[in-house]
Amino acid sequence: MKIAMIGTGYVGLVSGVCFSDFGHEVICVDKDPAKIEKLENGQVPIYEPGLEQLMAKNVEAGRLSFTLDLTHALQDADAVFIAVGTPTRRGDGHADLTYVMAAAEEIARTADHYIVVVTKSTVPLGTNRQVKQTIRKTNPNLDFDVASNPEFLREGAAIDDFMKPDRVVVGVQNERAAEVMAEIYRPLYLREFPIVTTDLESAEMIKYAANAFLATKITFINEIAALCERVGGDVKEVARGIGLDGRIGNKFLHAGPGYGGSCFPKDTKALARIGQEHAMPMQITETVIKVNEEIKRRMIDKLLDLSGGSFNGKTIAMLGVTFKPNTDDMRDAPSLTIVPALVGAGAKVRVVDPQGRNEGDALLPGVVWFDDPYKAAQNADLLVVLTEWNEFRALDLKKVAKKMATPRMADLRNIYSAKDAKRAGFDAYDSIGRPAFHKDA
């Protein structure tokens, strides 16, 4: 199959590279000359483990290429995927479809043969029908179909998710489009991965419902963690106890400083907005959004307690600022709420993150970047674990404690324990929903 992929952001690039590894001929299109030049030189503009190597392999095999020219990309293409950004629109919380509709218009003006237009971007219900109307209005003579094919890629594990998916969701209106999509995903059909073929609206809804449900699980366990801190109990044991129930499952039950990233914040807001527009409020989702923001702010209070009631003049070593490990993505990361509050209150914040500086330089003004957690801890008053990178999971805590001016730790990802910290010589330790200790308490 010949595929054109419009957009070389996270979803577009990962999808394009993986489709080419299926054996398809893929041309990725972008309007940004600098980005296309980087890609043609073998440079990946995002951090995703394994992506650079897989991209190089398929470029060398002649199955993958990059261009600024949509006409070239659409020549003889069987399908064109729209994988552009749908950021939260300012003012109303809805997904901004400006780039999606612009891509649809360009396809209509450029395509000259039957083609399936596939929306890969996360879009509100009814968007695929809008795409169809836009194309039909722009070019009434074009022979085409539309399809919805939402992505379910986890940053940091996207290639594995694409190649070994829990399911593939395809929304179509007729058998002709379904056959094209079946051929595109034929390698997964042959390996018997579940393919859910449904209507356009159901496919759109599956994406939003899945992300809202996962965001709800995270927020639920974070609220349970807060209650554990008040009444006693260990949230890790609670999560394990309920997660063994097959109806609940153990995934997304890890307490922390609140969810972030490119999907959950944007998609929960969009779902809430869709509900409001259709007079069917998504009350659970709306509450999840509210509680998640409160959780992030509650982390600041936790750090304030460990800092003796004031951040002013304190040196704080922050381990991790990306929203999760194995990505350079800072979108809606808890660090964007927590770090500015510390800096604004007079703290001297040192940051260590294997990939976070790429975006963090602009997003976190006033911090000092370090490559080594031990150097960042030198003479620090507080150590904060904010992102659970593997590099931070096996620190020599005794070495860290000796370097600090006042050895105190806020473990916001629960990768250590009060027992570990006490044994290593820390004066105070706090985490999320588990026993804490303070030498002077």
Judge if 91 and 36 occupy the same domain. yes
Q: How confident is the model at residue 439 (pLDDT cuts 50, 70, 90)?
A: confident
pLDDT, tens digit, 9 for 90 and up, residues 277-305: 999 999 999 999 999 999 999 999 999 99
pLDDT for residue 441? 61
pLDDT of residue 312 exceeding 90, the answer is yes
Q: How many domains does the chain have?
A: 2
For the ranges 252-266, 375-389, 402-416, the lowest mean pLDDT is seen at: 252-266
pLDDT of residue 89 exceeding 90, the answer is no
The span from the CA of 214 to the CA of 409, in Å, is: 29
Judge if 302 and 189 occupy the same domain. no
Average pLDDT score over residue span 264-272: 92
Specify if 203 maps to a domain.
no
Q: How confident is the model at residue 440 (pLDDT cuts 50, 70, 90)?
A: confident
H-state helical runs in 250-345: 264-277, 283-306, 335-344
Average pLDDT score over residue span 69-87: 95
Specify if 32 maps to a domain.
yes
Specify if 398 maps to a domain.
yes
The span from the CA of 116 to the CA of 118, in Å, is: 6
Judge if 217 and 183 occupy the same domain. no
- Tokens 């806020």: give the residue: 410
Domain boundary among 164, 198, 232: 198
Domain boundary among 169, 198, 227: 198
pLDDT, tens digit, 9 for 90 and up, residues 159-188: 999 999 999 999 999 999 999 999 999 999
pLDDT for residue 87? 83
Specify if 142 maps to a domain.
yes
pLDDT for residue 342? 97
pLDDT for residue 91? 67
Judge if 360 and 228 occupy the same domain. yes
Mean pLDDT of the chain: 95
What's the token pair of residue 300? Answer: 């600041």
Q: How confident is the model at residue 323 (pLDDT cuts 50, 70, 90)?
A: very high
Judge if 264 and 385 occupy the same domain. yes
Task: Give the CATH number of the domain where residue 312 resides.
Answer: 3.40.50.720
Average pLDDT score over residue span 25-45: 95
Q: How confident is the model at residue 73 (pLDDT cuts 50, 70, 90)?
A: very high
Domain boundary among 198, 229, 259: 198
263 is catalytic: yes
Judge if 192 and 220 occupy the same domain. no
Average pLDDT score over residue span 93-98: 82
- Tokens 């009350």: give the residue: 283
Q: How confident is the model at residue 317 (pLDDT cuts 50, 70, 90)?
A: very high
Specify if 256 maps to a domain.
yes
Domain that holds residue 251: 210-441
Average pLDDT score over residue span 348-377: 96
Judge if 179 and 214 occupy the same domain. no
Total-model pTM: 0.91
pLDDT, tens digit, 9 for 90 and up, residues 121-158: 989 889 999 999 999 999 999 999 999 999 999 888 99
pLDDT, tens digit, 9 for 90 and up, residues 189-235: 999 999 999 999 999 999 999 999 999 999 999 999 999 999 999 99
Judge if 44 and 183 occupy the same domain. yes
Residue from 18, 28, 228, 263 carrying the catalytic annotation:
263
- Judged by DSSP in three states, 169 sits in strand
Specify if 204 maps to a domain.
no
Average pLDDT score over residue span 8-34: 96
Specify if 103 maps to a domain.
yes
Work out the burial of residue 164: count CB atoms within 10 Å of its CB; fewer than 13 is exposed, 13-18 middle, 19 or more buried: exposed
Nearest partner of 2 among 85, 65, 68, judged by Cα: 65
Element (H, E) at 108: helix 98-110
Whole-angstrom CA distances from 291 to 223, 233, 296, 333 are 8, 21, 9, 15
Average pLDDT score over residue span 331-349: 96
The span from the CA of 258 to the CA of 374, in Å, is: 26
Judge if 56 and 114 occupy the same domain. yes
In the chain, pLDDT over 70 holds for what percent of residues? 99
Q: How confident is the model at residue 263 (pLDDT cuts 50, 70, 90)?
A: confident
Judge if 109 and 15 occupy the same domain. yes
